[in-house]
Amino acid sequence: MDRIIILYTKTNIMSDDAINESEKILESLFDPGNAEILVELKDGPKLLSFLTKKIAISKEELDEKLSYLIEKGFVSKDEKNDDTSYLLDTEKLSKVLENDNNFKNIDDGLAKLDSFLN
């Protein structure tokens, strides 16, 4: 009797590009330098002058750190007259953090580490 081998491939709903994008967003959100800024923004918009004094960072460094999160819509930058303010989109942030798929890789990684150690 011949053996029939059935190969089951687990499909992922998200494309590789979407997964990479999601990982990049999470990395940016949890980057220690960015996290410190986001903590300041969680309660509402903050002026550039407040952030640069509170975090001891230059305007250029702040813009560089937040550039990706601004591009992806997690942080908005509002420039009026001589004042610049930053605002965290807490609703968008919550949606990303609540998405189970974002933390699946963490669970998989911990399971692999556990099996390796045992």
Does domain 16-117 fall under CATH 2.120.10.10? My reply is: no
The structural domains of the chain, with segments of one domain joined by +, span 16-117
| Whether the predicted pLDDT of 74 surpasses 50 | yes
Q: What is the pTM of this model?
A: 0.68
DSSP per residue, 24-72: HHHHHHH-HHHHHHHHHHTTS-EEHHHHHHHHT--HHHHHHHHHHHHHT
Which tens digits make up the pLDDT trace of 11-59?
A: 445 556 666 788 888 888 888 889 899 999 999 999 999 999 999 999 9
Q: Which two tokens stand for residue 30?
A: 């949890």
Mean pLDDT of 66-88: 94
